[in-house]
Amino acid sequence: MKQLFVYAYALIFSTFAFGQNGWKWPDDEDLRNKAIEQEAFYKVLIAQDKLEEAMQPLNWLYTNNPELNPAIYINGVKNLNNIIKAGVDAERKTRLQDSILWMYDMRIEHFDNDASTMDRKAFEAFKMHYRSQDKYPMLAQLYAQAYEMNGVAISYFNLNPYMMLATNYYKTNPAEMPAEKVLDIHTLISDVIYEKRKNGGKIDRLDKEQDKVDGFLGSIGDVLNCEFIESKLVPKFREEPSDIGTAKKIFSYSVRAKCTNQPYFLEASETVYTSQPTYELAKVLATKYVASEEYEKAMLYNSKALELSSTDDEKAESSLGLAIASSKLGRKTMARKHAYEALSFIPDYSAAYNLIGNLYFTSFNECQGGESKVIDRGVFLAAYKMYEKAGNKDQMQASKEQFPSIEEIFNEGREEGETITVGCWVNETVTIQRR
């Protein structure tokens, strides 16, 4: 009687499901009644922990009503996993694992959620076979499909397993999984993590996943180095400089391998920027061009960075970059203008005040008129003011050592505390102080 009551309860529940959206029961009445019975029966058996017996009604549904609902495959996977956990011999375990993957294939064949199902199938296969070297080709193919189908929507739980697979595959069979392919996979996963971050993903979780992915790459030794980039990627890029894929690899690998001083890094970076302009990349290019003393290009990319900036900090940094490049070109008036622009975004930006101080400090020779030592040394008084605002005590002291002497002040009939105007391009009003 008790079993009958449980069966009746399950049957009522299944009949309720019959009227719900997403359930596709047979049109034939006899077959439909049989399907309702089998759907209820397998649930009763699972509830009674009769896992082996539950596969009989499930298999009937797979054969006779395969499009009933994804639930029959979802529950089938759970049931087979529980059977495996309960303990089976190695041969049967292999057959059951194959059946689990078959159930995912049936979901893909009969229902419209292929990308998500492939996402889960890849992870299910990984859990089952990540220790089996003979399964690596199959797992690599599944993960390639899962990433192609899902893109940035790939699940968090499939980020580091793909990298773990790639590195293990490389270690056991580098002919089938060469280092270049491992690096491609690393780039793919890193790009997905980057896009997830941009789209409001869980930053802490993504940072941890990136650390794991980087750790797996590091576990295969010194594969990623400047020699590898130059021999494997640079020739291909120089044959086709518009190849954004290769350019992105050269850029990201150069950063990781600390090869950013190589000429190919700038070449690749410009190609990436042309295709995908970002503030961050514009600043990288501007900084590298300052380092290589190509100041006109540094001006260009700092201007682009300013156009792409979205925060006051970014605007200030870009303006200061313009100021630095201008000063290197000897355009002191323009450099000061850009430095003050930086200060308009961050009023206490010490680096901007420091740069203006440097501009004044180094202007003595070009600005001295030779008629008044006090006025000529006014550039150091002006520099002192800027260094003081920057909090640069060393340069404040260096400026003070160049102030006019008390004798020079007295001989010109001037007094400490008197204000004077420094001419030349500086055009600042300062207060006389002695050194």
Distance between CA atoms of 342 and 25, rounded to whole angstroms? Answer: 69
> Is residue 1 domain-resident?
yes
Q: What CATH code is carried by the domain that includes residue 300?
A: 1.25.40.10
pTM score above 0.95: no
**To which H or E segment does residue 103 belong?**
helix 90-110
Rounded to whole angstroms, the maximal C-alpha distance in the chain is: 121
3-class SS at 65?
coil
What CA–CA distances, in Å, run from 71 to 23, 26, 59, 74, 202? 9, 16, 13, 5, 29
Closest CA to 35 of 49, 21, 48, 24: 24
Of 286, 317, 347, the last residue of a domain is 347
Distance between CA atoms of 16 and 10, rounded to whole angstroms? Answer: 10
Distance between CA atoms of 161 and 158, rounded to whole angstroms? Answer: 6
> Is residue 182 domain-resident?
no
> Is residue 282 domain-resident?
yes
Together in a domain, 16 and 97: yes
Burial environment of residue 210 by CB neighbours within 10 A (0 to 12, 13 to 18, 19 or more): middle
Of 86, 112, 138, the last residue of a domain is 112
Could you say which DSSP state residue 431 is in? E
Q: What is the tally of structural domains in the chain?
A: 3
> Is residue 379 domain-resident?
yes
Q: Which domain holds residue 425?
A: 369-431
What CA–CA distances, in Å, run from 189 to 56, 153, 199, 216, 278? 41, 12, 15, 12, 20
Q: Which two tokens stand for residue 277?
A: 């302009």
Together in a domain, 336 and 382: no
One digit per residue, pLDDT tens: the chain, 435 residues? 345 444 544 454 444 454 456 798 988 898 999 999 999 999 999 999 999 999 999 999 999 998 889 999 999 999 999 999 999 899 999 999 999 999 999 999 998 889 999 999 999 999 999 999 999 999 999 999 999 999 999 999 999 999 999 999 999 999 999 988 998 899 899 889 988 988 888 999 999 998 999 889 888 767 778 888 888 889 989 988 888 888 988 888 888 888 998 989 999 999 999 998 999 999 999 999 999 999 999 999 999 999 999 999 999 999 999 999 999 999 999 999 999 999 999 999 999 999 999 999 999 999 988 889 999 999 999 999 999 999 999 999 999 999 999 999 998 888 889 999 998 999 999 999 998
> Is residue 137 domain-resident?
no
Together in a domain, 2 and 102: yes
